[in-house]
Chain A
Amino acid sequence: MAAFLLAIPVQLSDSFTEFISVHGRSLSQVIAAEFYNGTYFRPFRRALIKSVYELSGGHYYAAFRGFQALQVLVLLLLFARMLRVRSSAALAALPLGIAIVVGIHTFAGAVVEGLPVNHFLTILICCVAAMNIAQAQRTHLTDVAAVAVLVCAMLTIESGLLIWVIFIAAYAVGYRGISRSALIVLTVCVATYFLGRFVLIGGAAPGLNERSAGFGFSVLNPDDLVRRFGGNPIPFYAYNVLSAMSCVLFAEPRGGVWMFVRELLRGRPEPWQFVNVLTSVATTVLIARYAAARSANWRARGFDEPDRFVIIFLAVLPLNALFAGGYEKDVIMSPAGLFYAAAAYFVLRERLSGVKAVSLAPAIALLLAVGWSVRFVGIHDSLRARALSVREEWAYYDDWVREQPRPMPLTPEEQAIKQHLYDDAVLRAPRVPQPSLGVTERLFDFSQ
C-alpha cells in the first residue's frame, strides 16, 4: 500500500490551504487559533500538519506522503499486535483480518485523502494504540500513555472521544492494562472537553446549513436540508445515526444514500455493489451468530479474547455513529470499521480453532475470503486512480482559485509553496501507470 500512497502527490483541495494556514506561524499560534474555530474543535489536527510541515524542510511531497505511508504501516502493525497472533488458527485468519481492515469501505477515506495529514487515519492509530495499552501489563506508564492518547485524539477530531469508549469497554470486558484511577482521569478529561468546548469557549454543533448530506436515494444540499428538517432536525440526525451503523454492518447506505437499493430498483446494480454488500452482510451475520451463541456466557461475565473484541465492537459502533449525526460520511465510521474487522477476525479464528460457537459453511467461507480480497485489491485501484485525479486537480489550479468562496491572494512565499507543490504534482510527478483490468475493474468500488 505504501507504494500506492507514495504515487499520489500532495493534493490541492483540503491541503494547499492547510499549508498556507500554518506557514509563518508558530506551533502555539496554530494551536491557539484552532481553539476558537466555531463549530469545529480540532487544535491538534493542524498542529500535526504544522509539525510535519516544519520537519519537511521544504520537501513537502516526501514528508507528507511518506508520513501517510508510515501512518498506515504503524496502524497495521499495531492492529496485528492487537490481534495477538499466537497460534496456527490465528495465523491462518490474519490475512483475512488485514484484508477486511484495509478493504472495508470506511477505511478508504483514511488513505485516499491526504488532507495533508489525514486525521481519520490518526484516530485509527489512536484506537489501536488504546487497545494495545489496554491489553498490556499495567504500569504507571500505561496509565500515562492512555491519558496522552485520549487527549491527543480528542483534540485532533471529535471522534477521538471514542478512545474513552474503547478504554471503558476494554476495562469492562476484563482488560486491565490501565488502572481504575486512570479510567477516572480519562473520564475527567472527557468532561473537561465538553465543559471547555461548549461552556467556556462557547462552541456549537454544526448546523444543517454546513454541507450537503445524503438522505434516502439522493444527496440534499444545505437549502434542501434546512427546508425539510429546519423545524425539527431530530429525524434527520436519527436517520444519519442509523445509516452510519448500517453502513458498517451492511455496506449500505453509503454516505447516507441507499445506492445499492436505488440501483437494484433501477435494475442496474454494479458488480462491486454486490461484492461489497454480500461480503459485509455475510460477515455481519457471522459476528451476530457468534454474539447470540455467546450471549449467555456474557451475561455470566465470562469473556475470552474473541468475546471481548466483539463486545468492544458492539460498544464502539453506536457511539461512533453519533459522530455521524450531523451528516453521514463513510470515513467517520472508520473506528467502528476497524473494530468490525477485528471482531470478524476473532470469530473466524474461533471457527478455525474448532470452536462450535458458530458454524461456517465452506462455500460461505470462500465467498467471504474472496469478497474481502477483492475489496482489498480494490482500494489499491482507487489509490492509483487518486494519483491521476490529484495531478489533474493541480493542472486546473487557476480554475480552482476562481471557484473559491473568497479571493486567494498569495504572498511571494505562499506563491513559492504553491509553485513547489504544483511542480511536484504536474511537472515532476512520476508517470504512474493506470491499471487496465478489463471487466475485473467492475468488481472494484470506484466510488471510494
Chain B
Amino acid sequence: MSPRETEGTFTSFALSGLVGRIFVPPLVAFLLLSLYVVAEAIGYRGLARSEAETIAEAAALGHAARALQLIEEGQNPNQPQHVRANFLDAGNYELRPLEAAIVARHAELVRLLLRVGAASFDKTRASCLARLRLPEVLSDLGDRDSDSPEPIEIAAAFRMCGAD
C-alpha cells in the first residue's frame, strides 16, 4: 500500500463524489451484464434479435448454420415456409428457403442450400428473382448469367416474378 494513502482523505473524496463517478459505472456495467446472463439463462429474450424458426427465415437472415440445424431437425428445404415481417422487409412471405436466400442476396447460402438438397424449386421463379436480386447465382440455378443492374426492391421483385 502507498505510504501516502489514508482512509481519512479517501472519505473526503468519497464525499466529493469522485469515488461514485469512478466506482459506479463499471459496477453498473458488470451488474447489467450479469443480469443479462441470468435473464437469458431463464429464457428472457426481450433484448434479442428475432431468431429464425424456419429454414426460409434462416436463409433470409443469411444464417447458414441455423438453416442446416433446422434441416437436421426435419424441416423440408424444398417446401415454401413462412417468413415473418422484418426478416426480409416489412412484409410477411411464403417462400422456399432458396428463394429467401436469393432475395436476401446471400449467394454463398444459395450454393450451400443447393448442395444440401434444396434442389426442388420453381426454376422460372427462382431465376426471375435471381435476375432481379442476385444475378451471380444464375449459373448455379442452371440459367445463363445476366448483366443485371442494381438489385431492385424485394417487394418489386416479388411483383415481377409472381407470388407463390
Interface residues in chain A, defined as those with a beta carbon under 8 Å from any beta carbon in chain B: 3-4, 84, 86-90, 92-93, 95-96, 98-99, 304-306, 348-355, 360, 362, 365-366, 368-370, 372-374, 376-377, 380, 388, 391-392, 394-396, 398-399, 425-427, 429, 431, 433-437
Contact = CB atoms under 8 A, between A and B. Distances in A.
A4 B108 CA distance: 28
A376 B4 contact: no
Interface string B108-127: 10011001000000000000
Could you tell me the dominant secondary structure of chain A's interface residues? helix
A362 B2 contact: no
B5 A89 contact: yes
Contacts of A380: 33
Nearest to B72: A427
B2 A98 contact: no
Given A305-B1, A354-B10, A433 B40 contact: yes
Interface of B: 1-14, 16-19, 21-30, 32-33, 36-37, 40-41, 45, 47-49, 51, 63-69, 72, 108, 111-112, 115
Contacts of A306: 2
B7 to A, nearest CB: 6
Contact of B23 (A86, A96, A360, A391): A96
Contacts of A433: 40, 45, 47-49, 51
Nearest to A1: B33
A377 B33 contact: yes
Q: Which 3 A-B pairs have the closest CB atoms?
A: A354-B9, A433-B48, A395-B64
A95 B27 contact: yes
B85 to A, nearest CB: 15
Contacts of B22: 92-93, 96, 348, 352, 365, 368-369
Given A99-B30, A362-B21, A373-B29, 5 more contacts: A87-B10, A96-B25, A373-B25, A399-B111, A431-B51
B30 A95 contact: yes
A393 to B, nearest CB: 9
B21 A399 contact: no
